[in-house]
Amino acid sequence: MEIVILAVVIALVAVGLISGLVVSSRKKKQLPPSAPSSTPTITPPAEPRVGEEAETPRDEARRPIEEVGVPGAGTPVEETPVVVEPEIPELEVPEPTAGRLVRLRARLARSQNSLGKGLLTLLSRDNLDEDTWEEIEDTLLTADVGVAPTQELVERLRERVRVLGTRTPDELRTLLREELVTLLGPDFDRAVKTEGGDGTPGVVMVVGVNGTGKTTTTGKLARVLVADGRSVVLGAADTFRAAAADQLQTWGERVGARTVRGPEGGDPASIAFDAVKEGIAEGADVVLIDTAGRLHTKTGLMDELGKVKRVVEKHGPLDEILLVLDATTGQNGLVQARVFAEVVDITGIVLTKLDGTAKGGIVIAVQRELGVPVKLIGLGEGPDDLAPFEPGAFVDALIGD
């Protein structure tokens, strides 16, 4: 009997053990594969132990920058490379400005074939009859050289070709080069004036109709100056176009130039004033002021730009007023130039978008119109696609050398 009872007890225990195993294994299956411990939010974060590889972003923030391995900021850690947003934005190093036009000449040559190469082809004809001279004239007019300069050039070319008699292609190229360079005014002083007096920053105001590339040019010019070792403060006084201040600030941040800005629709004159004040306070070399160019009415424009100029000049005289013109707008650009010249004293012209037009002759026409030199040209949307204007290099790009 006792043996029977013992056997029953053993059997019961065995059944109990088996069912327990089954239940626990079922429970295990119900758990998600990588379930965290039941209450992660109240568990205090474990302190990182020596040798642990994974680190939280907070830990990264606490580590000195050399340890984290920000590019260029020290020796990177050996084990796992850690990707961290650099806290200090990396500054770009703009291209040097010397020889930019030569480097960018392909942009001009591509778009200017009809002017330079067209003229050379026409002049190379065996028989330079009246029709050919008319074609030469048309080529110049089509390229926006303007009526008076075209007539002058054709007259001089006719005279020189006649004296030359037989012509070799090389002689023709030299002759055309000389005449075009003469027409571009090789003696103009094309340096952008950025030297202030008495240790104060040079102040440059950038004006022009919206859409001509004014803000972009101001940003590119900041890069030109930084490339030449100058420190720059930007004044976002185009408060009319919503994105203009952001756009300018982005340009500035890329090269470490501070931007002074105000509320959208704010008073451009007070922003311009504050920008110069800031430039003086931080001992900057140059202050560049971007302005709004609404050609609503001449009086409106005059009021607006006139006020900006007057207010800025409370700090001292402006060193340069650059007029930005879009080369693709042709005669319309000349009309704009006339209006702006009546409102403020333009001291230099920036011709933008010369990469996208065959109308490079506008350089000649606008200088004639205003009696003011083209100082810079825009040859693309890239950050360093703004070049100091050099007549010789420009003509070489047009006709090849």
Q: Does 381 bind ligand GDP (CB under 6 A)?
A: yes
Residue nearest to ligand GDP (CB): 378
Q: In the complex with ligand GDP, which residue's Cβ is closer, 208 or 333?
A: 208
User: Tokens 């900041």 — which residue?
Assistant: 222
Burial-class residue 276 by CB neighbours within 10 Å (0-12, 13-18, 19+).
Answer: buried
**Main-chain phi, psi angles of 378, to 5 degrees:** -95, 130
Q: Which of 219, 238, 242, 222 is nearest to 230 (CA)?
A: 222
Residues between 335 and 354 that touch ligand GDP (CB under 6 A): 352-353
Q: Which listed residue (214, 254, 315, 375) binds ligand GDP by CB under 6 A?
A: 214
200 known ligand binder: no
N- to C-terminal Cα distance for the chain?
123
Q: Does 103 bind ligand GDP (CB under 6 A)?
A: no
325 known ligand binder: no
Q: In the complex with ligand GDP, which residue's Cβ is closer, 352 or 367?
A: 352
Nearest distance, CB of residue 272 and ligand GDP, angstroms: 15
Tokens for 367, please give them.
């200088």
Helix axes 147-164, 169-183, angle to 10 degrees: 150
Q: Which listed residue (356, 383, 392, 400) binds ligand GDP by CB under 6 A?
A: 356
Binding segment for ligand GDP (CB under 6 A), chosen from 23-31, 210-218, 338-346, 367-375, is 210-218
Could you tell me how many residues of this chain bind ligand GDP (CB under 6 A)? 19
Residues between 178 and 207 that touch ligand GDP (CB under 6 A): none
Check residue 52 and give left, alpha or beta (phi > 0: left; psi -120 to 50: alpha): beta
Find all residues with CB under 8 Å of 136, minimum gap 6, and list them. 119, 122, 123, 154, 157
Q: Tell me the H-state helices in 244-348.
A: 244-255, 268-281, 298-312, 331-343
Q: Which listed residue (213, 262, 360, 361) binds ligand GDP by CB under 6 A?
A: 213
Q: What radius of gyration, in Å, describes the C-alpha atoms of the chain?
A: 35
Residues between 223 and 262 that touch ligand GDP (CB under 6 A): 241, 244
Q: Does 367 bind ligand GDP (CB under 6 A)?
A: no
Nearest distance, CB of residue 171 and ligand GDP, angstroms: 34
Q: Does 211 bind ligand GDP (CB under 6 A)?
A: yes
Q: Does 378 bind ligand GDP (CB under 6 A)?
A: yes
Nearest distance, CB of residue 101 and ligand GDP, angstroms: 13
Q: Does 270 bind ligand GDP (CB under 6 A)?
A: no
Q: In the complex with ligand GDP, which residue's Cβ is closer, 150 or 212?
A: 212
Q: Does 210 bind ligand GDP (CB under 6 A)?
A: yes
* 3-state secondary structure at position 238: coil
Burial-class residue 47 by CB neighbours within 10 Å (0-12, 13-18, 19+).
Answer: exposed
Q: Which of 394, 401, 334 is nearest to 369 (CA)?
A: 334
Q: Which residues are annotated as a binding site for GTP?
A: 208-215, 290-294, 352-355
Q: Which residues are annotated as a binding site?
A: 208-215, 290-294, 352-355
| Residues of this chain that bind ligand GDP (CB under 6 A) | 208, 210-216, 241, 244, 352-353, 355-356, 378-381, 385
